[in-house]
A and B are shown apart, each in its own frame.
Chain A
Amino acid sequence: MSSNLIAEQAPAFLDSSADLEDRETRRARHRSQIIRLGSIAALVAVFAYFGVAAPGFANLGNLANIVEQSTVLALLAFSMSIVVLGGGGDVIRGGIDLSLGANLGLCAAAFTVASNAGFSDPVAVAITLAVGAAVGLVNAFAVVALGVLPLLATLAVMNICGGAELVLTQNTVISANSPLLSYITGASWLGLSMTDWILVGAAILLIALVHGTRWGLRLQAVGGQRQAARAAGLRVSAYLTGTYVAAGLLAALAAIVQAARLSGSSPGSGDILLSVVLTSLMSVVFSRRLLPSIGGTLLSVLFIGGLINGFQLLNVSSYWVNGVQGVLILFVVAVRSLSLRRGSV
């Protein structure tokens, strides 16, 4: 018990422990404002550099292309941000969903197999969403009902999903064709493809939901101080369950987009997991309170997407991409933590 109490009251690593003191809070807010503006400035600077240096980067078509290439990652990163928001920022004891990448692979396989088995698009979509939500429910069951640490519960579920995907596909590429898949990649409206619109729609919806409704505010209360939220009468377990199920549903949506982009399912989708963790945690530097946010997640995904795209146009080897991402996250996080610190550990 005591360890649980300590765990929940310990300052999570994303919150500064500064909110104990009023003056500190104000100072921290100023600093976080500077960090946020600095991060946005960095994003603008990088894009401006590519715009000048890389021919074709600033093309409307290319920018839409960046969004299109970022959609799957963005949907998964939104999921991660929602789970982190609800569970709290402590990576080990707070919210995290390591099963997202494997869930993406499993759902893409489910859609492809269902589609090839002759089910119509609506049915295949329903099956895919059901699979994604079921994975989310299993996570929620382990975390909320059994009390397993999210890091561990979702790690085990990741293995189960990865294995289930292999069983479904026998580790092979399976192609699929359906009206829905060609609609997602082919159709366009106002110059943007349906993939772009899915990202735009999901982002607007989630920003409104998480940052503009009572539900979202309470979710952040649950993530910020679980005991206080419980004492205030919030049904903490319902909110936590909701985050994992929502994450599973978003992963299923991402899977349908991925199936459309790859014309089917192919092994290895789970590899996206680390990028998901990276972009979601990086989102804190784009947010006002240094917490994960949907808008911040979108910005960091586009940042990464723009970097990859710009590198391609500049003919920089793609082997640099991971390293640059790594340096980037270390840089932003170091700037943040150094400016928040005042001479202690």
Chain B
Amino acid sequence: MSATTAPTRPIGAQLVRVTTPAALVILFVIFAVVSPTFRTPGNILHILVNNFSLPALVALGMTLVVSAGGIDLSVGVAADIAAMLAVTLMQNGTGLGLSLIAGIGGALLVGLLDALLITVFGISPFLATLGVLFIGESVQQLATNGGTPIYLVSNYPAAGLDFLAHGQILGLPLPLWLVAAAVVLTQLLLSGTAFGRHLRAIGAEPRVAWYSGVPVRRATWLVYLLSALLCGVAGLLLSATVKSYVPLSGNAFMLDAIGAVFVGTTISRETRPNVLGTLLGVFFFGMLHNGLLLIGWNFYWQQVAIGLLVFIVLGISFLTRRLQTTD
């Protein structure tokens, strides 16, 4: 019955796991052949910095949350609140460091509220974070008079801000270093530690985990706080790049992050959220946006195409999995 413990694994099982990577490689080759611009190193770096790094930070946090059997619909709020606080403070002349710390603090408050609602009030993660999303939207609307963007004044001493958005360390842009740090953090938490095993236990059967002495509450707090932290970093990077705060702009992260995490589960033998899969998922989406644009599809058709491709990838991997398990 249990395919995961069978000593010899059917060849089909291996095939499912390559669906996403294969689709990624095939599309990469197609884009590279059709568009000479696409295959330039400069463009690949462009994808990594502009289409990949910010969603990757959010999706890595989501990977932790989903591993623990939860879901976080408030990722956009955490990113937006961080940007809102930091940009507002900077505009009023506060130093860069303090503004950024305040932004991260704001994001952590969102995570704190999520965790509080889930652990203390016993609300399911979906509803708790949905409620926080609604509240967060109101807070932003009230603070910005209905959604007016805040632009940083041009004479703001922006050297540090520019470094945040475009700075390079050892030739690699700072956002990618932050993604690398987040990858190390999430990978360590998920695989190398007792905490990772606890998360998976909670994700599989929270009640059993609780009865077995797993510190369910502590793990839940940590997961939502970490998710909010990563979202806050993403929000700050975004506002550093566009030198402004646009209310409710973080919501675009939410569905992409959820999609990337679950597309990523298709490469895991146990269909669990995993860091590599999530990164592949995020890159898949980022590459599609960039590639479809470069081969000349307009924005409207891009959206149809992305939906269709995700549909096909999910369809193939879930169908193959189903065919194996009903054998």
Residues of B within 8 A of A281 (CB): 127, 130
Is B299 touching A329 in the complex (CB atoms < 8 A)? no
A315 sits at the interface (CB 8 A): no
Q: Determine, out of A3-11, A183-191, A195-203, the stretch whose residues face the partner at the interface.
A: A3-11
Residues of B within 8 A of A341 (CB): 122
Q: Residue B135 contacts which of A4, A148, A323, A345 (CB distance < 8 angstroms)? A: A323
B309-327: which residues lie under 8 A (CB-CB) from chain A? 310-311, 314-315, 318-319, 321-322, 325
Q: Residue B210 contacts which of A158, A324, A334, A344 (CB distance < 8 angstroms)? A: A344
Is A345 touching B216 in the complex (CB atoms < 8 A)? yes
Residues of B within 8 A of A159 (CB): 303-304, 306-307, 310
Is A166 touching B299 in the complex (CB atoms < 8 A)? yes
B19 sits at the interface (CB 8 A): no
Residues of B within 8 A of A34 (CB): none
Closest to B220 in A: A345
A274 sits at the interface (CB 8 A): yes
Q: Could you tell me the distance between the alpha carbons of A157 and B304 in the complex, rounded to whole angstroms?
A: 9
Residues of A within 8 A of B4 (CB): 2-3
A325 sits at the interface (CB 8 A): yes
A300-345: which residues lie under 8 A (CB-CB) from chain B? 317, 319-327, 329-330, 333-334, 337-338, 341, 344-345
A164 sits at the interface (CB 8 A): yes
Is B121 touching A334 in the complex (CB atoms < 8 A)? yes
Is B138 touching A156 in the complex (CB atoms < 8 A)? no
Is A274 touching B134 in the complex (CB atoms < 8 A)? yes
Interface string of B105-124 (1 = CB under 8 A from A): 00000000000010001111
Closest to A317 in B: B142
Residues of B within 8 A of A277 (CB): 130
B137 sits at the interface (CB 8 A): yes
B126 sits at the interface (CB 8 A): yes
Residues of B within 8 A of A162 (CB): 303, 307
Interface string of A125-169 (1 = CB under 8 A from B): 000000000000000001001111101110111111111101100
Is B319 touching A147 in the complex (CB atoms < 8 A)? yes
Given contacts A147-B319, A345-B216, contact A327 B303 (CB under 8 A): no
Q: Could you tell me the distance between the alpha carbons of A2 and B325 in the complex, rounded to whole angstroms?
A: 9
Given contacts A148-B315, A319-B146, A344-B210, contact A1 B304 (CB under 8 A): no
Q: Could you tell me the distance between the alpha carbons of A324 and B138 in the complex, rounded to whole angstroms?
A: 8
Residues of A within 8 A of B322 (CB): 146-147
Interface string of A250-284 (1 = CB under 8 A from B): 00000000000000000000000010011001000
A17, A149, A162, A330 interface centre (most CB from chain B within 10 Å): A330
Interface string of B127-159 (1 = CB under 8 A from A): 110111111011101100010000000000000
Is B127 touching A329 in the complex (CB atoms < 8 A)? yes
B2 sits at the interface (CB 8 A): yes
Residues of A within 8 A of B146 (CB): 319
Interface string of A51-63 (1 = CB under 8 A from B): 0000000000000
Q: Could you tell me the distance between the alpha carbons of A1 and B124 in the complex, rounded to whole angstroms?
A: 25
A236-257: which residues lie under 8 A (CB-CB) from chain B? none
Is B216 touching A152 in the complex (CB atoms < 8 A)? no
Is B315 touching A330 in the complex (CB atoms < 8 A)? no
B91 sits at the interface (CB 8 A): no
Residues of B within 8 A of A1 (CB): 1-3, 325
Q: Could you tell me the distance between the alpha carbons of A167 and B325 in the complex, rounded to whole angstroms?
A: 39
Residues of A within 8 A of B300 (CB): 163, 166-167, 170-171
Given contacts A1-B3, A146-B322, contact A330 B141 (CB under 8 A): no
Residues of A within 8 A of B259 (CB): 152, 155-156
Given contacts A91-B126, A155-B255, A163-B303, contact A326 B319 (CB under 8 A): no
Is B141 touching A6 in the complex (CB atoms < 8 A)? no
Q: How far is the CB of B150 from chain A (nearest CB, A)?
A: 16
Q: How far is the CB of A162 from chain B (nearest CB, A)?
A: 6
Q: Residue A274 contacts which of B133, B258, B262, B310 (CB distance < 8 angstroms)? A: B133
Q: Residue B117 contacts which of A11, A320, A334 (CB distance < 8 angstroms)? A: A334
Residues of A within 8 A of B325 (CB): 1, 4
B302 sits at the interface (CB 8 A): yes
Is A338 touching B134 in the complex (CB atoms < 8 A)? no
Residues of B within 8 A of A327 (CB): 131, 135
Q: How far is the CB of B288 from chain A (nearest CB, A)?
A: 11
Known: A166-B300, A323-B134, A329-B131. 6 other contacts (CB 8 A): A1-B325, A2-B2, A147-B321, A163-B305, A278-B134, A326-B131
Using a CB–CB cutoff of 8 Å, the interface residues on chain A facing chain B are 1-6, 10-11, 13, 17, 91-92, 142, 145-149, 151-153, 155-164, 166-167, 170-171, 274, 277-278, 281, 317, 319-327, 329-330, 333-334, 337-338, 341, 344-345
Please, could you name 16 A-B residue pairs with CB atoms under 8 Å apart, sorted by A? A1-B2, A1-B3, A4-B325, A151-B262, A157-B307, A159-B304, A161-B307, A163-B303, A167-B300, A320-B142, A321-B138, A329-B127, A329-B130, A330-B123, A330-B127, A345-B206
Using a CB–CB cutoff of 8 Å, the interface residues on chain B facing chain A are 1-4, 71, 117, 121-124, 126-128, 130-135, 137-139, 141-142, 146, 204-207, 210, 216-217, 255, 258-259, 262-263, 270-271, 299-308, 310-311, 314-315, 318-319, 321-322, 325
What 7 pairs between A and B have smallest CB-CB spacing? Answer: A323-B138, A326-B134, A159-B307, A163-B303, A163-B304, A160-B307, A166-B300
